[in-house]
Amino acid sequence: MSKAVLITGGSRGIGRATALAAARRGWSVAINYVRDAQAAEATASEARALGVQAVVLQADVALESDVLALFDASEAALGPLSGVVINSGIVAPSSRLADMSFDRLKRMFDLNVMGAFLCAREAARRLTAGGSVVIVSSVAARLGSPDEYVDYAASKGALDTLTIGLAKELGPQGVRVNAVRPGLIETDIHASGGRPDRAQVLGAGVPLRRPGRAEEVADAIVWLLGDEASYVTGSLMDIAGGR
């Protein structure tokens, strides 16, 4: 029986790359999306072509009822989960904190923090020994993202703390919790922040002199999910080209 993994925000970018990397390892995948059903189904079709089960599940992880339904539907379709990848997140256009609206801040923290905590809570309730949670944080958590989005950076800082604390809570029952912290990765999240060329422009300034690819992050996530990382928990893995 293959392992099953739920990936929030699995239709595009790092989530999509993770779904396909997991499928190549023979894992069944539950692909969550909030709006882009077409992209989610395209990802699922590619996963199925690799010979695994793949289901597409709509849910807004900022809503508790959606999160509960998402986990229930994942288990109904694929059986008990072995892994959960908490990947959903948003960024907003570059701004100084002084100019950010309440609505922007609330949406940022509702999705990036509350959504992650709700998903982590459900993973904690359902995963058993050998299970693994991987949280997608960001190198912004330690850089602060001044003059761009300190709200996003702070939301990811909360996820770093969640990773450390939850790893200690779940370790005694054999469930591991780790985070990856991507740097400048070529995904469309930059376009949603108003700078579609951001990764390419800034990537030239990192020590490896280029932006990263979603697949490079996905490979690290799948390693952390798998048995090869059986003694790794509470870690914050930077995938940022030395930035």
- Catalogue the active-site residues: 152
Cβ–Cβ under 8 Å, residues 181 and 138: yes
Query: What are the respective helix, strand and coil percentages of the chain, to the nearest 5?
Result: 50, 15, 35
Cβ–Cβ under 8 Å, residues 198 and 184: yes
| Contacts with 233 (C-beta within 8 Å, 6 or more apart), sequence order | 167, 170, 171, 176, 177, 178
Written as six digits, the tokens of 93 are 């256009």
Write the DSSP string, 12-35: SHHHHHHHHHHHHTT-EEEEEESS
